[in-house]
Structure formats: structure tokens, C-alpha cells
Amino acid sequence: MRIFDSAVSVSGNTISDNSARKGGNMAILCGEPVIQGNIIEDNLASRYGGGIFVDSLSYGTRPAAPRITENAIRDNTATLFGGGIIILSDALVKDRNGNPWTRANYPPYS
């Protein structure tokens, strides 16, 4: 699933057994989608973000700013980085209260 410059809502799904180079299950490439209450499992990325790949630097004129809440993200694989989820560049992921996620476990992307 590729989300580009959209405010779509993806909720209440089981999304499994998918593969892609970036974002085995889902690639968010700018826009403000709501990803809520899903089971995201057993997906494979040959590079980054087995479950969810979030980036906007190379893809759009405004940053990706998804709200990703109350999902079960498990048993996803990426050969390089981000088995479950990877957030790159100036993307801003928010929780259900609109607070930004911190990127304490990953250095700034350049």
C-alpha cells in the first residue's frame, strides 16, 4: 500500500504477507493519513521498513505527518533497517493526541 499526499484513514484491518523494497506493508510518502487499530504482521521489505516506511524528503513538497496509533506491528522484517517501522528525513509521526514521536533510537537521516 502506497499513501502519497493523502489524508486517508486505514483502520481495523489485518494487513499481512506483503513485500516491497521500502515499506513491505505500507509506504507513507507525504500527507496526513490516520493509521489506527490495525494488525500489521509478517511483511517483508528488501531494504527499509518491513511494516511501515515513512519518508517525505524525496517524494513530496510537504512532510509526511501520519498519525499511527493503537496498531499491533509485529513479526515484520527488513534487510537493512526498520523491521517494524522506519521514519526517515523530515517526516513527523504523531500519536493519537497529536504529540510527535521522538526519534531516540535512530540518528537523524542525512
**What's the DSSP call for residue 89?**
T
- pLDDT digits 0-9 by tens, 22-42: 888 999 888 888 999 999 999
- Does residue 42 lie in a domain region? yes
> What string of DSSP letters covers 31-54?
B--EEES-EEES-EEEEE-SSEEE
Domain count within the chain: 1
Query: Is 69 a domain residue?
Result: yes
Q: Is residue 110 part of a domain?
A: no
Is 31 in contact with 56 (CB distance < 8 Å)? no
Q: What is the pLDDT of residues 55-65, one digit of tens each?
A: 876 666 677 88
Lowest mean pLDDT among 43-47, 55-59, 72-76: 55-59
Q: Kindly state whether residue 24 falls inside one of the protein's structural domains.
A: yes
Q: Print the domain residue range for 23.
A: 2-87
Q: Does residue 109 lie within any of the structural domains?
A: no
Q: What is the pTM of this model?
A: 0.81
Q: Is residue 38 part of a domain?
A: yes
Q: Chain-centre distance of CA 37, in angstroms? A: 14
Is 12 a domain residue? yes
